[in-house]
Amino acid sequence: MQPEQDIFLEKLFREHYHALLLYACAFVKDRNESQVAVQEGFRIACSKIDEVMAAPNPVGWMKQTIKYVSLNMVKRKKRQMLLFVSLEEAVYSLQDSQEKLTELLDLCAGAVSKQEFALYRRVVLDGLPYSEAAKELGVSLGACYKRLERIESKLRAALEKELGRS
């Protein structure tokens, strides 16, 4: 970025960060996740700095971007929770059949590693913010998102395959 772009973005950040954080909170309902949404919004702004600077209302541009980032975060969280709930429902429905329950748990264990399942459980059920999970893993926020998407995809495929056979 050029110096004037740096100055523009820094001024936008300093003057509007807290308002944008509150705006994101309206969607994601969690301060940590709101911070992630605002950070992602500014990352996007960095990659589209010419567009932001040319916008008649840069704060409005940021709000729109943060709104979509926040809504995508909420969608992703709901999708993960639905998968986890359907997985738990499957386990509950198979409790009478120890053999089927063991088969399903083995299926999940085979679909993802113990570390992956532990990470998924902490983020989805315990509400560990993605930013904290990324720190624990020692990876970027984007890498953490991608890792969780892959885990979810593996679990969903394994669950759908198993429930389709039952």
Q: What is the pLDDT of residue 17?
A: 96
Tens digit of each residue's pLDDT (9 = 90 or more) over 81-127: 766 666 656 555 655 666 665 666 666 667 888 888 888 878 876 77
Sign, CA torsion 141/142/148/152? positive
Q: What percent of the chain has pLDDT over 90?
A: 37
* Residues with Cβ within 8 Å of residue 65, at least 6 apart in sequence: 41, 44, 45
Domain holding 117, by residue range, is: 3-165
- Of 9-18, 22-31, 86-95, 112-121, the range with the lowest mean pLDDT is 86-95
Rounded mean pLDDT, 64-90? 79
Total structural domains in the chain?
1
Q: How far is CA 88 from the centre of its chain?
A: 21
Residue 61 near residue 68 (C-beta atoms within 8 A): no
Any idea how long the chain is?
A: 166
